Amino acid sequence: MTGRFISIEGVDGAGTTTQAQAVADELVERHDGLTEDDILVTAEPTDGEIGRLIRTGLAGDIELSQQALALLFAADRVNHIKTTIEPALNDGKTVITDRYYLSSYAYQQEAGSPLDWLQTINKHALTPDLTVYLDVDLNECFNRMGDRDSTDIFEEREFLAKIQANYHTTIETLAEQGEPLSVVEGNHAEETVTDAIIDAIADADSTSL
């Protein structure tokens, strides 16, 4: 494979979707000869059949155990890699995914699945050339997500605080295992965050040379 694979991660409201597209646009803007066709922006869960089943389960429309849901995420990921990510990388494209296995690890640990088991079921997943974690204050996340009623805000704030803690501890573990990771301060204006991600990608590219 000759392309590069970048994952952008963070809690709800961190801006992963916004930044995935913004980074793609900025890469095209900064590099002569690079076009939109040279970059693939994708996301998980996917829009495929397994991804749609995951969304149905998350919405509570079908009953799925947390273990079953974790396995579905892993299956969706493998299919995503084989049908979308690897073909694009083999064509020399840069692939940017809005969420990948770090999100699964953070959220599914909170649902009771141990990290070592989650890593086992994701052992066939391609390791990104760089995983970027957007570290955003929870107050800022809620501002970005918009108004919620007071009960929802309290309950979701507690939940997201736990997810954020899971991200931090999991990042430490993955870094110890040698995965290329960058933590980007995500509280700033969108353009500032995009610039920081571009810098992290450039640093990762130079390190891999």
Output the domain CATH number for residue 126. 3.40.50.300
CA 27 to CA 188: how far, in whole Å?
20
pLDDT at 151: 45
Helices (H) and strands (E) in the chain, counts: 9, 5
Closest CA to 9 of 206, 164, 162, 203: 164
* Residue 92 domain flag: yes
Instruction: Report the chain's C-alpha Rg in angstroms.
Output: 17
Compute the average pLDDT of residues 167-178: 98
* Residue 131 domain flag: yes
- Residue recorded with tokens 């397994």: 50
pLDDT at 101 over 80: yes
* Residue 165 domain flag: yes
Compute the average pLDDT of residues 1-16: 92
pTM over 0.85: yes
- 139-150 burial by CB neighbour count: b if 16+ within 10 A, else e? eebbeeeeeeee
pLDDT at 209: 40
Contact 98, 20 (CB under 8 A): yes
State the chain's mean pLDDT as an integer. 93
Closest CA to 172 of 202, 120, 133: 133
pLDDT at 154: 58
pLDDT at 40: 98
* Residue 113 domain flag: yes
pLDDT at 152: 55
Q: Total domain count for the chain?
A: 1
pLDDT at 147: 55
- Residue recorded with tokens 């890699």: 81
Contact 136, 14 (CB under 8 A): yes
pLDDT at 155: 61
Q: How many CA atoms lie within 13 A of 29 on its CB side?
A: 9
CA 144 to CA 166: how far, in whole Å?
21
| Domain carrying residue 52 | 4-204
Contact 16, 8 (CB under 8 A): yes
* Residue 209 domain flag: no
pLDDT at 150 over 90: no
Closest CA to 171 of 133, 121, 119: 133
Classify 98 as helix, strand or coil.
strand
